[in-house]
Amino acid sequence: MVINGTMMQYFEWFTEADGKHWQRLKEDAKHLHDIGITAVWIPPVFKSVTINDEGYGIYDLYDLGEFDQKGGIRTKYGTKQELLAAIEELHKYNIQVYADVVLNHKGGADETEHFNAIEVAEDDRNKDISEPHEIEGWTKFTFPGRKGKYSDFTWNYHHFSGIDYDKKNDKKGIFRIAEDDKSWADDSAVGNEFGNYDYLMFADIDYGNADVVDEIKKWASWFVKETGVDGFRLDAVKHIHEEFTNDLVCGLREEFGEDFFVVAEYWDQKYGHLKEYLKAHNDDISLFDVSLHYKLSNASKEGNAYDLRPLFDETLMQKKPTSAVTFVDNHDSQPSQALESYVEPWFKPLAYSIILLRKYGYPTVFYGDYYGIKGDNPIEGQQEILDKLIYIRQHYAYGNQTDYLDHANCIGWTRAGDEDHPDGCAVVLTNSEEGFKEMSFGEERAGEVFYDYLGHREDEVTLDENGVGVFPVNAGSVSVWVKK
């Protein structure tokens, strides 16, 4: 990971389904490098239930847009050739590529099978609401379009633990497969919402099956060699047996080096749950700072009623800084999505100044915040302000951080700078009326003059004989003060 590196999540839910996304990414590589992006998280690259699926309805992990399956050759984002060309171009500009990897389930099976299953309660998956009975489920994956290339492994009901539809009785529900002494993953190995959150959607992959574990590890090795990606974003990990993810990550690091980056999506606001998950992985992976995201979302909705002083309490950024991947929004939290918790546009510049200019956390810029969100209710991107904040991160946000978190509506901090970036910066933001923060850079910097790089304020601030300055900020805004 680069010092002061910045990741971009290079997609939003309504990214055009025109098969040209990899081409756009390739063309954008130089621009991303020029603005200071050092890594991109790309959407799932695999053939899904349809060629226009966002990528989370995984059908075939070995089909990266190469085989005529599920309605065509390309995925929503393009062909395998275009994907590899985009990765190569990004690498040319020293931009790392993290693949979004979906290992919890499979969808779009090729055939049905008959087997015994038990229906469970949707709100408590440990509670059986039927006797074992024969059902007909979509569990057979033969990948006829791929014809065994790369792997001759085919999937059947022995490789899954549950499904959500019985074709025989045309019934939707959650059915635990009652063959091979199957059960859900142990309660302690997955999230505990709904009693046991092993089951999420489609045909749930059974990591208690040794053949499955073997096949997915082989696939992971093949995939990294085939594409040259630098890391994984692991989707929906609270539904996957944590022993398996731990094994997988250890194997990847052994084969591809300790720097192979892994960030897992464990969607939970409670810091305690994230801490436990990290502990199970020896603190050796990163997690998205979901706690901080919800605080930013709440702050944006509550306006000046929100007390900014405890903003960082019980967040990964504060408690496990080296494991924190910070973000403002993503494809799940954007409007109309499953986990909608959108940060209101007025607060975006404040939220991004927090994740980009503070000392801790690996920040992620969301494509939808930068380029805009499409769909029925489009939202404009905030490219201009984000370019400035990423630039400040790259050139000024270094060195020790001194916090001034002593006012419910107006907070600030200074970064002292380091040997290579001696100027540092001062950040001040308010969720209420115009305000200011009196902050110090130390007497050795007395007399230095600062201006607001974001251009929100036209005044200048001169440090007094003690190196203290009074840094103002407009109402509901942020200013970042750098040396003139």
Q: CB 373: neighbour CB atoms within 10 A?
A: 23
Distance (Å, whole) CA 174 – CA 163 = 6
Q: Do residues 348 and 382 make contact, with C-beta atoms less than 8 angstroms apart? A: yes
Strands 261-264 and 231-234 turn out to be parallel
CA distances from 358 to 32, 304, 348 (A): 21, 22, 15
Residue type, 474: N
Candidate list 265, 289, 329, 423, residue with the active-site label: 265
Q: What share of the chain is helix, strand, coil (3-state, %, to 5)?
A: 30, 25, 45
Distance (Å, whole) CA 315 – CA 311 = 9
Distance (Å, whole) CA 161 – CA 128 = 14
Best CA proximity match to 311, nearest among 402, 408, 427, 416: 408
Best CA proximity match to 294, nearest among 329, 318, 262: 329
What is Dmax (Cα atoms) for the chain?
Answer: 83
Note if 265 is an active site residue: yes
Alpha helices per DSSP H over 382-422: 383-395
Q: Do residues 136 and 112 make contact, with C-beta atoms less than 8 angstroms apart? A: yes
Q: Do residues 68 and 145 make contact, with C-beta atoms less than 8 angstroms apart? A: yes
Owner of token pair 């902050």? 439
Element (H, E) at 216: helix 210-227
Q: Do residues 444 and 467 make contact, with C-beta atoms less than 8 angstroms apart? A: yes
DSSP letter at 346 equals: G
Distance (Å, whole) CA 328 – CA 232 = 20
If DSSP states are collapsed to H, E and C, what string results for 110-164?
CEEEEEEEEEEECCEEEEECCCCEEEEEEEEECCCCCCCCCCCCCECHHHEEEEE
Note if 235 is an active site residue: yes
Tokens of 373: 């969100």
Q: What is the dihedral of CA 429, 430, 434, 439, to 10 degrees?
A: -50
Sequence-distant (≥ 6) Cβ neighbours of residue 27 within 8 angstroms: none
Bridge partner list, 72 = 69
Candidate list 53, 110, 119, 235, residue with the active-site label: 235
Q: Do residues 325 and 7 make contact, with C-beta atoms less than 8 angstroms apart? A: yes
Catalytic annotation, residues: 235, 265
